[in-house]
Copies of this chain bind each other. A is one copy, B any other.
């Protein structure tokens, strides 16, 4: 069946210009658009519905892990932001400042939260007195603001939506365990729900979060071979507690500082879905985050009985899957192109001849594969097919990631890979920040993480030749 020209021709191909392809998809799939507010985007219904599915499923996993949701103010007084030295240095250059409230100038300026560690510290200082008040495992869903110069839809914008978890514990060990627990929840969520394989590991000191003792990350590989940091989890030790004076009385009636963590995931995940799964026909959504999982396209819908049958099928399947019928006046070809652009995982085509033969054509968005299915079997075939698509999409992304992960045993190999290939580079590292900086300056590749699963790829640093301390993932990144 010929695709509708008008809709499809407008997309740049991935191979030609990946960045333009990305922009075309976010606009044409109606996920987002630019606004009059520079650097800020609108998330349109098709995009927000994906975010709602992400939120719901991630929040369920949080609640199962004992997380409670709260809401803290969006403003941070300047004096509060400044209490932890590293933190303020990291964030002050990129915050928006409120200096006037109503008709009067403010006595103290307030920044719009870029993240809420300082507010949670202020809150916990009031809430926590004794070991009985610990742990606190709180999270909030909100928007944050970072005054970025260069912005891209979903990947980097001045305002974005996220969740930020902030926890307080009696011991360093408990805080560390929670930091890792939440990173694993993120990783499992990405793999099981978004069908995106991730590398779990620790950031180097150079790349860690402002004020953290340790930052853990999950790193995904996009279709163009660039890495995307997809979620981070930070162990603050008792650094913030000391800066803010947050102490509790332990069982022996001694004052102790609390230990803290924070962890976040953002609307950037929608960018990851696009760049991992998308193709030249547009978006390809994993079934678990597809607001519409199945679109029924009636063929020759003006013929008697076609729309009725389409509606009958929809109604039968609606208990098991998120399904719609496209009853608009557009041509079937236009509807196919539109369904493909929007990434709807499965299309069911049903026309007069199909009805006569008690069958329908079922088309997979991810592979384009078409099968003829008896109408009596749709109720079992479709839910199973969605599961197959979900796992096939993960396997395909994993294969791409693995095929684009290279080992560099020495500096010539490293440079050669950077110049001729794309993807992750695994290599040994001496542990020196100076070396890390030189690698970045010479190649544009940053350290993505020290993976939890370490491999012994040699005994010396890939760059300087000194004894190696750890294996790292390197890559160019968003």
The number of times this chain is found in the oligomer is: 2
Interface 9-mer from A66-74, A223-231, A410-418: A66-74
Q: How far is the CA of A68 from the CA of B145 in the complex (A)?
A: 25
List B contacts of A126 (CB < 8 A).
33
Measured between beta carbons, the chain B residues less than 8 angstroms from A145 are 74
Are B100 and A71 in touch, CB under 8 angstroms?
A: no
Given A42-B71, A98-B97, A100-B99: A119 and B35 interface contact (C-beta under 8 Å): yes
A45 CB-CB contact with B under 8 Å? yes
**Interface: A408 (CB within 8 A):** no
For A147, list chain B residues within 8 Å (CB).
101-102
- If A98-B98, A98-B112, A100-B99 touch, whether A70 touches B93 (CB-CB below 8 Å) is no
A142 in contact (CB, < 8 A): yes
Contact with B along A76-100 (1 / 0, CB 8 A): 1100100000000000011111111
Contact between A101 and B93, CB atoms less than 8 A apart: no
The yes or no answer to A131 lying at the interface (CB within 8 A) is: no
Q: Is A191 an interface residue (CB 8 A)?
A: no
A37 within 8 A of B: yes
- CA–CA, A143 and B72, complex, Å: 11
Given contacts A43-B70, A71-B48, A72-B35, contact A101 B96 (CB under 8 A): yes
C-alpha spacing A308/B110, complex, angstroms: 52
Residues of B near A49 (CB, < 8 A) are 68-69
- Of the listed residues A77, A102, A123, A142, the one surrounded by the most CB atoms of chain B closer than 10 A to its CB is A102
Distance in Å: Cβ of A18 to nearest Cβ of chain B = 26
Q: Is A402 an interface residue (CB 8 A)?
A: no
Question: Bound complex: CA of A51 vs CA of B141, how far in Å?
Answer: 13
A259 to B: closest C-beta gap in Å: 20
Does chain B have a CB within 8 A of A138?
A: yes
Interface check A334, CB cutoff 8 A: no
A75 within 8 A of B: yes
Contact B94 A97 (CB under 8 A): no
Contact present for A93 and B99 (CB under 8 Å): no
User: Contact: B37 with A76, CB < 8 Å?
Assistant: yes
B residues near A123, Cβ cutoff 8 Å: 33, 35, 42
Asked whether, in the complex, the Cβ of A71 is within 8 Å of the Cβ of B35, the reply is: no
Contacts of A77 in B (CB 8 A): 36-37
The residue from B37, B52, B93, B100 contacting A75, defined by CB atoms under 8 A apart:
B37
Interface string of A125-139 (1 = CB under 8 A from B): 010000000000010
A212 at the interface (CB under 8 A from B): no
Asked if A409 CB lies within 8 Å of chain B CBs, one says no
Bound complex: CA A77 to CA B42 (Å) = 15
Among B42, B68, B112, B119, the residue within 8 A (CB) of A72 is B42
Establish whether residues A73 and B138, one from each chain, have CB atoms under 8 Å apart when the complex forms.
no
Q: Is the CB of B100 within 8 A of A42?
A: no
> Of residues 144 to 186 in A, which have CB atoms within 8 Å of B's CB atoms?
145, 147, 149, 158-159, 161
Instruction: List 28 A-B residue pairs with CB atoms under 8 Å apart, sorted by A's residue number.
Output: A35-B72, A35-B122, A35-B123, A36-B80, A37-B110, A37-B119, A40-B74, A41-B73, A42-B71, A43-B71, A45-B69, A45-B70, A48-B68, A48-B71, A49-B69, A52-B69, A71-B143, A71-B161, A74-B74, A93-B103, A95-B102, A96-B98, A96-B100, A96-B101, A98-B99, A98-B112, A102-B147, A102-B149
Q: For the A-B complex with A36-B122, A40-B73, A97-B100 known, give 18 more contacts whose Cβ atoms are closer than 8 Å.
A: A36-B77, A36-B80, A37-B77, A37-B110, A40-B75, A41-B73, A42-B70, A42-B71, A42-B72, A42-B123, A48-B69, A49-B68, A74-B143, A93-B103, A96-B98, A97-B101, A101-B158, A142-B143
The 4 closest A-B pairs by CB, nearest first: A40-B73, A45-B68, A102-B147, A97-B100
